[in-house]
Every structure is written in C-alpha cells, then in structure tokens.
C-alpha cells in the first residue's frame, strides 16, 4: 500500500455529514457544507487531541464513520473469500477493518495543516433522488500540488453512505484488497484477522 494513502485518506473522510441534513442535501451539498464544520472542530481542538489521541478516535468514530458502508466495503475488500467466510468471520472482519480505519484516520487527521479544498465540475445526477453518486474534490497541497479525490456513495431510504473513495485515482477499497491478498493466500481469513488485531494494537498504543 502506498504510504501516502492512509495518511491522506483521513483528511478526505472528514467532509462527511453528521445529523439530519445528510438525508436532505445532495451529495455535493453535503460534502461542501460539512467540510468547514468538521475541519474547524479539528483545528480548534488540535492541541487537546494531540495530547489524547483517544479523543480523535472518538471524533472519527462518532462524526464520520456512521456514514460509511463498512459491510459493502468489507465484501469488496475480501472479494470471493467473503462468501466462504462464516457469519462470525464476516462480522469480525468488518469490526477489525473499521477499527483499523478509525485509528489510521485519527492519527492522520492530526497532521492536517490547513490545506485549501475546492470542488471542480461535478458528475451528473447530483441529486437527492439518485441511488448512486460521486463527488469530486481537490485538496491543494503545500507547494501548489493538487490532490484529486472522488467519493463514491449510494443512497438508501434517503441516507447517503460512502462505499469507496479514491485519492489521485487510487481506490481505498482496491488498495486494501491488494495489501491483504498476500496474508489471505498465506493463511486465509483467520490469519488476516490475527494480523489486523496485531496492527490495531500497535496503532492504538
């Protein structure tokens, strides 16, 4: 997995909405209206969050990840092995994968340094009636480089959930799928679950 991906993905994830407006706005409006709100909180509490990373874990878990479809992401990451898993293995993988992302994103958010964010021309069908949508975003890095981001969302009963997003054309789900594949080939899902448990402990220290 490219090192930049988990470190920048957290910055991108914070634009997701919390609260009732998620069901009332289009995907684009949701992203644009939420960016300042969440970034302001991160910047305003940065010193406290740096002293106590557990608070950042709570922030990510409470404000951002309720709007991710982890079940769908997990199925894509495991591919054909998902169907071969027992229900207990599926549930354990979803939880371990979620924990990995929470902790990785939380640490990366603390590195946020006031990058400017804008929105280029958007794809069609950006409306509350669409079942699938994507939102494009540009993050301007120090030095003038621009990092393009695309969120992929699906709507169900008026609620938008992210099931994947890409950074500079590289899909989060595909990146983790490639990174987990050697472990799966070596020891199957149980080996992957053990590896994730160790990784989560290391990040959580």
Q: What is the pLDDT of residue 18?
A: 39
pTM beyond 0.85: no
Averaged over successive runs of 10 residues, the pLDDT of the chain (205 residues) comes to 49 43 61 70 83 83 80 94 96 95 80 81 62 87 85 75 88 94 95 95 77
List 147's β-bridge partners, or say none: 139
Compute the CA torsion angle 9, 13, 14, 20 (nearest 10 deg): 180
Q: What is the pLDDT of residue 74?
A: 95
Contacts of 114 (CB under 8 A, 6+ apart): 43
Three-state SS across the chain? Answer: CCCHHHHHHHHHHCCCCCCHHHHCCCHHHHHHHHHHHHHHHHHHCHHHHHHCHHHHHHHHHHHHHHHECHHHHHHHHHCCHHHHCCHHHHHHHHHHHHHHHHHHHHHHHCCCCCCEEECCCCCCCCCCCCCEEEEEEEEECCCCCEEEEEEEEEEECCEEEEEEEEECCEEHHHHHHHHHHHHHHHHHHHHHHHHHHHHHHHHHC
Top CATH class of 4-204 equals alpha beta
Q: Domain coordinates of the chain in residue numbers?
A: 4-204
Phi, psi of 159 (to 5 degrees): -110, 125
Q: What is the pLDDT of residue 3?
A: 47
In the numeric block, which tokens belong to residue 76? 């894509």
Q: What is the pLDDT of residue 205?
A: 61
């Amino acid at each position: 997995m490219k090192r930049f991906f988990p470190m920048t993905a957290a910055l991108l994830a914070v634009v997701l909405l919390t609260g009732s407006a998620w069901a009332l706005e289009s995907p684009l409006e949701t992203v644009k209206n939420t960016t300042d709100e969440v970034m302001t909180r991160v910047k305003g509490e940065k010193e406290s969050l740096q002293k106590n990373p557990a608070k950042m874990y709570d922030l990510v878990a409470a404000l951002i990840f309720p709007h991710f479809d982890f079940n769908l992401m997990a199925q894509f990451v495991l591919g054909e092995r998902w169907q071969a898993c027992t229900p207990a293995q599926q549930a354990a993988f979803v939880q371990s994968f979620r924990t990995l992302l929470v902790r990785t994103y939380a640490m990366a958010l603390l590195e946020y340094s006031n990058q400017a964010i804008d929105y280029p021309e958007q794809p069609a069908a950006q409306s509350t009636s669409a079942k699938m949508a994507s939102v494009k975003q540009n993050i301007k890095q120090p030095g003038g480089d621009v990092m393009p981001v695309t969120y992929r969302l699906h709507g169900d009963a008026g609620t938008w959930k992210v099931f994947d997003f890409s950074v500079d054309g590289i899909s989060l789900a595909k990146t983790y799928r490639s990174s987990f594949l050697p472990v799966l080939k070596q020891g199957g899902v149980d080996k992957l679950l053990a590896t994730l448990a160790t990784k989560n402990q290391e990040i959580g220290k």
